[in-house]
């Protein structure tokens, strides 16, 4: 079950970053959208059934699901989804290790943490936080501007 939840959370992260960060709109065809979601869920079910988190399955479902969900050039979506998959995979791993360091005081089951890992985890977590806050700030600014101009006023910024 954890694999399905992990796939859903990663899928939502990808959708959020691509839609709000890169302003790529989803497809109008619901068949592609549904197929994209089903691919993600089937990959989670596959990982849950075989009790593995295969990197090949992860790469296939994330790239294919993003390419089916959004409407843009295939090559652009392929590179973008592969880069997001790589980046979020690294940051997720670092964030989990940061939580282990802070809350537990070390790695789980004898994982050695060297001197350079803690600053690396903090930096990666802050980069992730910076991306989300900057995307949220831009989205909030646009939403405020649209709501002010819809009322008939002029935005102050």
Distance in angstroms (rounded) separating the CA atoms of residues 89 and 49: 22
Which residues have a Cβ under 8 Å from the Cβ of 7 and sit 6 or more positions away?
40, 41, 43, 44, 47, 61
pLDDT band, residue 36 (cuts 50/70/90): very high
Q: Are 57 and 45 in contact (CB under 8 A)?
A: no
Q: Write down the residue that tokens 């849950």 correspond to.
A: 48
pLDDT digit string (tens) for 66-101?
Answer: 999 999 888 888 888 877 877 776 666 666 666 666
* pLDDT of 91: 63
Q: What is the 3-state secondary structure (H, E, C) of 29-81?
A: CHHHHHHHHHHHHHHHHHHHHHCCCCHHHHHHHHHHHHHHHECCCHHHHHHHH
Q: What is the mean pLDDT of residues 110-115?
A: 60
Residue 57 has pLDDT above 90, yes or no: no
Angle at 37 between CA 39 and CA 17, to 5 degrees: 110
Q: Are 63 and 36 in contact (CB under 8 A)?
A: no
Q: Kindly provide the b/e burial profile for residues 10-25, where b requires at least 16 CB atoms within 10 angstroms of the residue's own CB.
A: bbebbbebbbebeebe
Of 47-61, 90-104, 136-150, the least confident? 90-104
pLDDT band, residue 115 (cuts 50/70/90): low
What mean pLDDT, rounded, does the chain reach?
77
Which residues have a Cβ under 8 Å from the Cβ of 23 and sit 6 or more positions away?
none
Residue 26 has pLDDT above 90, yes or no: yes
Residue 15's alpha-carbon distances to 24, 63, 101, 108, in angstroms, are 10, 12, 29, 31
Q: What is the mean pLDDT of residues 135-143?
A: 72
Share of the chain above pLDDT 90, in %: 18
């Amino acid at each position: 079950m954890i694999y399905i939840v992990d796939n859903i959370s990663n899928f939502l992260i990808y959708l959020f970053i691509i839609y709000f960060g890169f302003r790529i709109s989803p497809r109008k065809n619901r068949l592609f959208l549904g197929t994209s979601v089903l691919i993600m869920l089937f990959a989670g079910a596959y990982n849950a059934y075989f009790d593995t988190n295969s990197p090949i399955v992860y790469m296939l479902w994330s790239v294919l699901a993003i390419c089916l969900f959004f409407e843009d050039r295939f090559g652009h979506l392929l590179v973008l989804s592969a880069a997001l998959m790589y980046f979020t995979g690294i940051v997720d791993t670092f964030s989990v290790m940061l939580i282990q360091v802070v809350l537990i005081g070390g790695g789980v089951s004898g994982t050695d943490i060297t001197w350079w890992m803690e600053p690396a985890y903090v930096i990666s977590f802050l980069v992730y936080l910076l991306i989300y806050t900057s995307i949220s700030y831009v989205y909030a600014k646009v939403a405020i501007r649209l709501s002010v101009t819809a009322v008939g006023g002029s935005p102050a910024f």
